[in-house]
Amino acid sequence: MHLSELTHPNQLHGLSIYQLQQIARQIREKHLQTVATIGGHLGPGLGVVELTLALYQTLDLDRDKVIWDVGHQAYPHKLITGRYANFDTLRQKDGIAGYLKRGESKFDHFGAGHASTSISAGLGMALARDAKGENFKVVSVIGDGALTGGMALEAINHAGHLPKTNLLVVLNDNEMSISPNVGAIPRYLNKMRLSSPVQFLTDNLEEQFKNMPFSPELLRLKEGMKRLAVPKVGAVFEELGFTYMGPIDGHNLEELIATFKQAHQHPGPVLVHVATVKGKGYAIAENDQVGYHAQTPFNLATGKANPSSKPKPPGYSKVFGETLSTIAENDPRVIGITAAMATGTGLDIFQKRVPKQYVDVGIAEQHAITLAAGLACEGMRPVAAIYSTFLQRAFDQIIHDVCIQNLPVFFCLDRAGIVGSDGPTHQGMYDIAYLRLIPNMVLMAPKDEAELQRMIVTGINHTSGPIAMRYPRGNGYGVPLMEEGWEELPIGKGEILRQGDDLLLLGYGSMVYPSMQVAEILSEHGIESTVINARFAKPLDTELILPLAEKIGRVVTLEEGCLPGGFGSAVVEALMDADITVPVKRIGVPDILVDHATPDESKAELGLTPPQMAEQILKLFSRQPSPVSV
């Protein structure tokens, strides 16, 4: 059977090991060719090919449910569940999503782009099954990186307390999340994988029994001998109420199939510990598991990214990492904190330059923020660098542990705004709204990479309470960067970039430069605009904004975030509180989910390109009478 003929995972039933191996090879080929051409996640999916095939051969996928944690490792799942033919649309507008998506396939039982959700969701489905008197299997597949998340441990704790609830948890242990794992749990799993008695027994049993037909009985004998020799293997999970099996070779189809069949026969919660290699089958990815977690289009032969047509300015994350490192080298109080995203946030630079001031907590954003609060209590200057979409997970800690106590924690929100092909789970749409409502919080956003540097200084020097800075994904504008002598900005003060008497344009963060472009277009139509770089969404520069709004009489706000509760809402509230009644047009992301596409495609669809925004403004204000001078 060829992979292209697989339209339903139940077609795997009855296939021989040799046939499965051939399909595994074809999955890797398709996976590699697609990601090399259009980009996407690489290492995670390559590592679970055999795991996926073996698991699905032991299930009836018309009834049974498999929940994949995060979902970036589910490309093999997509290829054998009817999406082979249009797999080349992966992560493209109107194409296949990069993560699981309930509306895309009946086999995508739970969508996620954030880690540590699968066990909770799977247990919920299992409890619903039992409550309705139904009979199907539920399997949650979770990586060891996601196991560092508190939510996964909460779910394990709950599931282990339900001995009559059948749930299979498959622990895909590749010793990695995006970056190498940190913490006691990954260290414990690593000991289980590499302990000499386990390796000795595994190697010798393989040698002694390699000529014997593989069977569940042989597997049970092997597992029993391992348990007898090394009673601590799996002890933590068994003490928590799980039947533990493993660790087993995640690339040995025979052993995987036999183990899953055995696991399905056990009542109650079962955990199968599978040892895999991230990037398996592509040597370049195996040797650089961090760099090849995900890739832009690249050359398969060399592994190198396809050259761009022209050099690009440095990315915001790199400027952030370099600037923060320079400051930290001269200030031992500065502590950089990441939640397993060192490379994405630029803190990998910080780690190399000031390793003693670097903290990686694993996939544990809630812990990261309360840890930062504790550091702030003792006079340190904690800098929590976390994607906008991931900081959502620590909303209570921001309120309860930081803002109520008015502690000087500096939140740096990377990937704020429209992020592109990762889709709704990763869009940084909501941080302005969800942070603006909290007392004591200061919010700022730079117009470019040079202003980012000044805002980093501002955030570190702001000792009277919490402060947050949002900045977009991607490259800056190529403005000159300062090597030293950065000055902090006065809190709550914006700047005028352009003067005009017909319209007031208030741009925030990544929308400041587009505001200037809009002003140029409007000028061609005889409308002269004053453009303000707001810099701060909270506190607003009301001393600057309110008199100009009252004088000019027409206001437009521009932001790359959700309109409900966002920057534009803050401006409208300030005008109302000051009893200034002028027409206001808010431009931003409406109350919808933004699907996967390139950022430019999303902006065009949302009407957020400068020509589109100028057209909206022209249509709106051409219908209104000229404001009366006051």
Q: What is the CA radius of gyration of the chain?
A: 27
Give residues with Cβ within 8 angstroms of 356, minimum separation 6: none
CA atoms within 13 A on the CB side of 86: 12
Question: Known catalytic residue: 207?
Answer: no
Amino acid symbol at 356: K
Number of other CB atoms surrounding residue 304 within 10 Å: 10
Measured between alpha carbons, how far is 193 from 459 in angstroms, rounded to an integer? 43
Single out the catalytic residue among 50, 255, 365, 449.
365
Closest C-alpha to 417, from 508, 314, 527: 508
Q: Answer for the pair 278, 178: CB distance below 8 angstroms, yes or no.
A: no
Measured between alpha carbons, how far is 409 from 403 in angstroms, rounded to an integer? 9
Do the bridges between strand 410-414 and strand 442-444 make them parallel or antiparallel, or are there none, so unpaired? Answer: unpaired
List phi, psi (to 5°) of 622. Answer: -70, -20
CA distances from 166 to 42, 125, 509 (A): 32, 11, 50
Single out the catalytic residue among 393, 447, 554, 586.
393
Residue-wise burial string across 57-78, b where 16 or more C-beta atoms lie within 10 A, e elsewhere = bbbebeebbbbbbbbbbbbbbb
**DSSP-based three-state secondary structure for 475:** strand
Give residues with Cβ within 8 angstroms of 412, minimum separation 6: 320, 345, 383, 384, 385, 386, 456, 459, 468, 469, 471
Give residues with Cβ within 8 angstroms of 565, minimum separation 6: 432, 433, 434, 436, 437
Amino acid symbol at 136: F
Residue carrying structure tokens 């907590």: 361
Single out the catalytic residue among 30, 129, 222, 278.
278
Question: Known catalytic residue: 206?
Answer: no
Do the bridges between strand 358-360 and strand 503-507 make them parallel or antiparallel, or are there none, so unpaired? Answer: unpaired
Give residues with Cβ within 8 angstroms of 451, minimum separation 6: 535
Do the bridges between strand 503-507 and strand 536-538 make them parallel or antiparallel, or are there none, so unpaired? Answer: unpaired
Question: Known catalytic residue: 278?
Answer: yes
Which amino acids are annotated catalytic?
Answer: 278, 365, 393
